[in-house]
Amino acid sequence: MPAPESILRFDGVSVIYDGVRVLDHVSFTLAAGETRVILGAAGAGKTVLLKTALGLISPDEGRVSLFNQEITGLRERQLFAIRAQVGMLFQESALFDSLTIEENVAYPLENQIGVRVDPAEVLPRVEAILKDVELGHTLDKFPNELSGGMRRRVGIARANVTYPKLVFYDSPTAGLDPITANNIMSLVIKQRDQRNTTTVIVSHRLQDGALMANYRFNSQSGKIERQRHTGALDTHTKFMVLQKGRLVFEGSEDELHASPDPYVAKFVLEQAQSA
């Protein structure tokens, strides 16, 4: 069986702000169809890692390759075509507050260089994906008229409306109550499994990773269902733990729980206790 295509590759990447290494020699490879859960405390460098992967931040050391193309040192305009294959949900959704929900979700379809959509198709596509995230009634509203959870769902819709091959989710459940957080995670899983999208999710909650690893969207029943824990499934979801910019763990969920690394063990234990 051939090895899956590499979609994202970090090779000794460091990002330095004011002399502090917010990413410190991080190396990993993300394969097509894989789900990668990046865990870590606040300030561990999770968001910086995602922004570096998308070329929004240039690394001070090392190389980043996205879809087999090295993006380190590329000009902003050269990055647009590569970014067209990637969707991203920002931490606070980052919706354009002067645009309606419809305009926000339509934005990548109408403006993204490298995305070609027939203008007649834009509205039906926007309506369909907003219905998918259970917000079909909010087209004319502005972001400030929605709750935090609803804004996050609009962000998920905007990240997926172009049907990207790779989607980054930056702390999709941060600051949300447990019920809303679980609803958001269901939508993330649904978007991932509907088109078999390669997914990278950053979170400080271990349970978000557990949901990603153990639940699948069943297109026939239209529901999120728990999967039997098998070796085959484990290869699709990998976990990484960042500590002060350093990658201290990379492996499966079982390996995470069995990790001898003191920081990882403490992180897992504290998360289990708080859950």
Partner 1 sequence: MSRAPYVSINAETALLEILKAPVSTLQDFCLLAGKALANLFRAPHYWDDVLIQMDRIGVGSLPIICLTGGFSGAVMALQMSKALDTYGASSQVGQIVSITLVAQLGPVLTSLLVAGRNASGIASELGSMKVTEQIDAMRALGTDPVQKLVTPRMFAMTVMLPFLTVIADFVGMLGGWLVALGLIGTTSALYWRGVYDILVFADVLQGLIKPLVNGLVISLVGCYYGMATSGGTQGVGRATTQAVVVSSVWIFVINLFLTQLFVNL
- Look up residue 228 and give its DSSP letter: P
* Type of residue found at 274: S
Q: Which is nearer to partner 1, 12 or 114 (CB)?
A: 114
- Footprint (CB under 8 A) of partner 1, residues 105-144: 107-108, 111-115
Pick from 26, 48, 86, 201: which binds partner 1 (CB under 8 A)? Answer: 86
DSSP per residue, 14-30: EEEETTEEEEEEEEEEE
Q: Do residues 159 and 89 touch, judged by C-beta distance below 8 A?
A: yes
Considering beta carbons, is residue 73 or 178 the nearer one to partner 1? Answer: 73
Interacting residue with partner 1 among 8, 30, 95, 242 (CB under 8 A) = 95
Which among 94-102, 193-201, 230-238, 246-254 is the span making contact with partner 1, rule CB under 8 A?
Answer: 94-102
Instruction: Mention every residue, 6+ apart, whose C-beta is less than 8 A from residue 219.
Output: 193, 194
Q: Does residue number 90 form part of the binding site for partner 1 (CB under 8 A)?
A: yes
Q: Which two tokens stand for residue 58?
A: 């240039």
CB of 94 to partner 1, least distance (A): 4
**Token pair 């004011």 in the structure block, residue:** 18
Write out the binding residues for partner 1, residues 145-164 only, by CB under 8 A: 158
Q: Is residue 103 close enough to count as binding partner 1 by CB under 8 A?
A: no
Residue choice 28, 67, 80, 263 for contact with partner 1 (CB under 8 A): 80
Instruction: Return the biggest CA–CA distance within the chain.
Output: 56
CB within 8 Å of 238: residues ≥ 6 apart? 34, 35, 36, 37, 250, 251, 252
Q: Tell me the site size for partner 1, rule CB under 8 A.
A: 25
Q: Give the number of residues written for the chain.
A: 275
Tell me whether residue 38 or residue 154 sits nearer to partner 1 (CB atom).
154
Closest CB to partner 1 among residues 78, 235: 78
Give dist(CA 59, CA 49) in Å, integer.
Answer: 10
Instruction: Output the CA–CA distances (angstroms, integers) from residue 89 to 62, 161, 171, in the order listed.
Output: 25, 12, 8
> Please, how many CA atoms are within 13 Å of residue 204, restricted to the half-sphere of its CB?
13
User: CB of 268: closest distance to partner 1 in angstroms?
Assistant: 30
Q: Does 94 bind partner 1 (CB under 8 A)?
A: yes
Name the segment binding partner 1 (CB under 8 A); options: 26-34, 92-100, 134-142, 221-229: 92-100
Residues that bind partner 1 (CB under 8 A): 51, 54, 56, 76-77, 80, 83-84, 86, 88, 90-92, 94-97, 107-108, 111-115, 158
